[in-house]
Amino acid sequence: MYWQAVWQEMIDTDVRRFEELLGAITDAAYGVGEYVKKVSSALNTETDPSKGISLLEVKVHTQLSYLNNLALLVLKKVNGKAIGHDAVVDRLAELRIVSERMRSVEQKLSYQIEKLIQSLSSDITVAGARDPLSFKPHPQGMNEDSDEVDSESEDEEGRAERSTANRKYVPPKLMATPYTEPKDRAAEKLRRRIMNTGMLQDLQKQYSQAPEEIRDNQSLMKHREILEKQRETEYEEEHYIRVRQSKRNANNSSHAQDSLARAFDFAGYFASSSGTQRKRKRASRKGKRSRKKRNTKR
């Protein structure tokens, strides 16, 4: 009993919807019929429509054929016929595609259509003497009336020039651009060298909250240096003598100490590095002179 009541309720709702749709279809069909009568009477009374725009005529025929096929489709559905593989559906799809493709062409011709409608409603020429968008020359503009129109346009231009001459001069606004200071190459180089030092990187890792990746491996050069240092200490402990460093190793160690000292020399980062460059140039000049003197003595 319950399912029968539900089924009956669904049937009643469908019947009500169908009746509403039928009422809307009949009202729309009546309105379309009245509009078609008006259009047919206008075509019979007015002049030949072939002188107008052919696109609008094609559009009207397409819409009429679409409405006819749509009415035929509704009639078949009311009679309970299947429309799955019917030719009416294919014709409706084709007409819909044609009408959608015509929209782009209609947009391109919108200006001409508006001018024609205005000319028919106000009984004036299609392109007036003052129309800047006229599409063809007008020889009738060479008459005496055209001289009056030209004088009026010249008067209007003179008034516009006088009004602009009396106005206050306003300079053109330029786009605001931020001032970028020139970068000091020496200071930038020193900053990069400080940031790349191992001790400063260790300090950054110590006070940083970012996750740290622990690595056991070392670089090949660092591993060789550690092994050489271990061998040197073992040899010194066994033989109770100090191993003399070569000139190259001494220079490398001194360079390492200088780089470590420069890492914490923050005053040099903010000061200009012109003095050091001059000292180096002078030292290099002195070295050249001393070499020349030695060569002359020999």
Across 23-27, 130-134, 190-194, 240-244, least confident range: 130-134
Mean pLDDT of 230-258: 79
Taking CA atoms, 187 is separated from 149, 162, 182, 195, 238, in Å, by 73, 60, 12, 12, 48
Does 200 map to a domain? no
User: What's the 3-state SS for the chain?
Assistant: CHHHHHHHHHHHHHHHHHHHHHHHHHHHHHHHHHHHHHHHHHHHHCCCHHHCCHHHHHHHHHHHHHHHHHHHHHHHHHCCCCCCCCHHHHHHHHHHHHHHHHHHHHHHCHHHHHHHHHHHHHCCCCCCCCCCCCCCCCHHHHCHHHHHHHHHHHHHHHHHHHHHHCCCCCCCCCCCCCCCCCCCHHHHHHHHHHHCCHHHHHHHHHHCCCCCCCCCCCCHHHHHHHHHHHHHHHHHHHHCCCCCCCHHHHHHHHHHHHHHHHHCCHHHHHCCCHHHHHHHHHHHHHHHHHHHHHHHHC
Mean pLDDT of 256-283: 54
179-199 exposure pattern, b = at least 16 Cβ within 10 A, e = fewer = eeeeeeeeeeebeeebeeeee
Does 157 map to a domain? no
- Residue 65 confidence (pLDDT): 92
Say which residue, 112 or 219, is predicted with more confidence: 112
Tell me the pLDDT band of 40, cut-offs 50, 70 and 90.
confident
Does 296 map to a domain? no
- Residue 49 confidence (pLDDT): 61
- Residue 97 confidence (pLDDT): 92
Does 154 map to a domain? no
In tens, the pLDDT along 157-171 reads: 666 666 656 677 777
- Residue 153 confidence (pLDDT): 60
Say which residue, 278 or 41, is predicted with more confidence: 41
Structure tokens at 104: 């782009």
Does 46 map to a domain? yes
- Residue 94 confidence (pLDDT): 92
- Residue 272 confidence (pLDDT): 47
Does 88 map to a domain? yes
Does 122 map to a domain? yes
- Residue 127 confidence (pLDDT): 46
- Residue 275 confidence (pLDDT): 47
The total of structural domains in the chain comes to: 1
Tell me the pLDDT band of 152, cut-offs 50, 70 and 90.
low
User: How much is the mean pLDDT over the chain?
Assistant: 72
Can you tell me the distance from the alpha carbon of 132 to that of 76, in angstroms, rounded to the nearest whole number?
55
Does 53 map to a domain? yes
pLDDT over 80 at 258, yes or no: no
- Residue 264 confidence (pLDDT): 56
Say which residue, 289 or 55, is predicted with more confidence: 55
- Residue 131 confidence (pLDDT): 54
pLDDT over 80 at 28, yes or no: yes
Mean pLDDT of 70-74: 88
Nearest Cα to Cα of residue 128 among 104, 152, 101, 108: 152
- Residue 123 confidence (pLDDT): 54
pLDDT over 50 at 192, yes or no: yes
In tens, the pLDDT along 119-137 reads: 776 654 444 445 555 556 6
Range of the domain at 82: 2-127
